[in-house]
A and B are shown apart, each in its own frame.
Chain A
Amino acid sequence: MPTAKEHILARVRANKPADRPLPDMPTYDAEVDLDLPLFTEVIGGSKGKVMAMEDLPGYLATNFPDAKVIASTVPEIPGNIDLAAVKDPLELALVDIAVLRGRFAVAENGAIWVTEKEAVIRVLPFITQHLVLVIDGGVVPTMHEAYKSIDIAETGFGVFIAGPSKTADIEQSLVIGAHGPRSLGVVFV
């Protein structure tokens, strides 16, 4: 008896249409000068906030005065949890603020590439109440340049983050902070 795999593949071979060529991927002209202003505008539309590194400590102190647990991989913001010592992701349940590195940003949609190298523990950028991403790789115009500049399989997990967590599942009313972070700050260095 054929396995499910053999059965499915045999049926695909019997039923698939004649070969259609894979199209070439074109390049689109983007206005590179506009990348940072465009990114700032688009991420603003998704309730993310771009700021300078020198404003980050003030931003955190003003907006989250009650924050107790801070996870940080950025020297400018000292954290109070040793991420290297975390054995179980459940230990991160009480993180109030995570300040992590992002590789680079995408202007057209406000997305920021973060792999598990930057996240340290995969769940950290999701489980934290508030997230700040510090980007040292600049801004590319569109997703075409974005995917050209990364190897998605370089690490076991990678994610484009384009704002704080959100939902509109109740009457299409936008609510920020569905499951993940309630805010997103972005710093370019």
Chain B
Amino acid sequence: MQNHASRAATFLKDDARTDWHNNTLWHVRSKRDKLVHGIPEWESIRQLGSDIKDNVLSNLDTYLEQFVAKAEANGVIVHWAVDAKEHNEIVHGILARHKVDKIVKSKSMLTEECHLNEHLEKHGIEVVDTDLGERIIQLKKEPPSHIVMPAIHLKKEEIGELFHEHLGTEKGASDPQYLTEAARGHLREKFLSAKAAITGVNFAVAETGGVVVCTNEGNADMGVHLAPVQIHCMGIEKVIPRAEHLAVFTRLLGRSATGQPITIYTSHHHRPKVGGEMHIVLVDNGRTKQLGREDFRNSLKCIRCGACMNTCPIYRRSGGHSYDHTIPGPIGSILSPGKDLKKNKDLPFASTLCGSCSDVCPVKIDIHEQLYKWRQIVSEEGHLENVKSIPLAGAGAVLSRGGLYNFMGKAARTALKIAPRALIYNQFNAWGQSRELPEVPKNSFKEWYAKNRKDA
């Protein structure tokens, strides 16, 4: 059966790509550091972001009611969806009512989570993702491998090949400027002919009933302002109390995500355009369940910047697809077990627990601590794979008995010296496949200490 380790092994077969992926994401992390260090109050803004989100989670019902009342007063049509299925049906219902057969979409991790595209396509609606990275992976029929840089796993030559096939660019052309220009022309046609536009939501303001959408390309705005019907899909945790709090989150988001002082466009949508219709779909899909888990509810504070991915030594060297989940990387690994523990039992282990993710998180989510807690739950509920559970049971038995520990230590030191190499470095020992044991010492530290202490 495939798991994170086996999918990572596939990614790692291409050394050059792995190194490029690793270095490129680290470069983004470095850009983030440079900008963050330029702001003396950075740590206090992070704390504010975290505290505001704590307040939101503890009053989520009140803020949602306030938000909806304001939005409806603004002339927005608000919908509630308990799960992905309801969300997809609501969106399809709106499109069907308007007889829409072509839509444009800007980036939304929520609609990825709900598999909205597949649902709409099943009903004969053409769905065009308009963020360049999203369009690339849509043409390639792949899920995003990063929440901010969806096509970061692909090289420009592969994108050139893809565009040659689908957009008629010159064969062999791989210049990013040329390819982007081709996509611009191709997508402009789609913008001009779409009858509805769908976006995700970065922040929803309870006080004013508006939604805020951040992009660099301007694709969300091109879609929303041209199409007669605009639909904004959001998880219920995206609401924030007041407009002044946007200052905190817009300062945190761009710098944490890509090391830029703010996204090029920070758009505030409050009322439909003249002659247009504006919808907001509020989605639960497991969020209220996560809210009830004391150890894990902090994961709902996430603003989807992707900083934890860019810094993670495992993500950088295993690629987003190795997580096989809508949201990969450290934050995905604490969200996914809450959705389906059995399917995602391997993900909390796709980490060194080094804590770098928690250090860069703009809203101070204790990501690595939650990873550790999920590991304990995976183990308690009996989902641990044999490759982990059997050695751990053995280690537990040995470590709890002092005499046995001393004996096993001695036995191991002798055995490792005389045993054939194949006994440790074989296909059954995953650990040994990419690691070397240190040279075996003559005696244990305990023995060394007893001897040298006497000599002193």
Contact = CB atoms under 8 A, between A and B. Distances in A.
Nearest to B273: A122
Interface residues of B, number: 94
B65 A9 contact: yes
Interface string A43-79: 0011000000000000000000000000000000000
Contacts of A20: 51, 54-55, 57-58
Contacts of A147: 243-244, 246-247
B251 interface: yes
Nearest to B254: A109
A123 B226 contact: yes
B171 interface: no
Interface in B250-285: 250-251, 254, 258, 260-273, 282, 284
Given A18-B58, A23-B48, A165 B246 contact: no
A185 interface: no
B386 to A, nearest CB: 35
Interface in B23-80: 24, 27-28, 39, 41, 44, 47-48, 51-52, 54-55, 57-61, 64-65, 68, 74, 80
A143 B247 contact: yes
Contacts of A167: 132-133, 180, 216-217
Nearest to A19: B58
Contacts of A170: 132, 136, 151, 156, 159, 176, 179-180
Contact of A179 (B219, B243, B251): B219
B241 interface: yes
A188 interface: no
Nearest to B246: A147
B300 to A, nearest CB: 10
Interface in A123-164: 123, 126-127, 142-144, 146-148, 150-153, 155-164
Contact of B177 (A9, A14, A175): A175
A175 B288 CA distance: 40
Contacts of B250: 143, 160
A23 B55 contact: yes
A109 B261 contact: yes
B205 A152 contact: yes
Contacts of B350: none
Most buried by B among A14, A26, A108, A123: A123
B281 to A, nearest CB: 10
Given A148-B244, A157-B273, A179-B217, A89 B225 contact: yes
Interface of A: 3-5, 7-9, 11-23, 25-26, 28, 42, 45-46, 89-90, 93, 106, 108-111, 121-123, 126-127, 142-144, 146-148, 150-153, 155-173, 175, 177-181
Given A17-B58, A168-B149, A179-B219, 16 more contacts: A21-B55, A23-B48, A93-B188, A108-B261, A143-B246, A143-B251, A147-B244, A160-B250, A160-B262, A162-B265, A169-B132, A171-B176, A177-B180, A178-B132, A178-B219, A179-B218
20 contacts: A5-B80, A8-B284, A12-B291, A25-B248, A89-B226, A90-B226, A93-B192, A127-B226, A153-B243, A156-B271, A156-B272, A157-B270, A160-B250, A160-B265, A163-B264, A164-B264, A167-B180, A170-B180, A172-B27, A179-B191
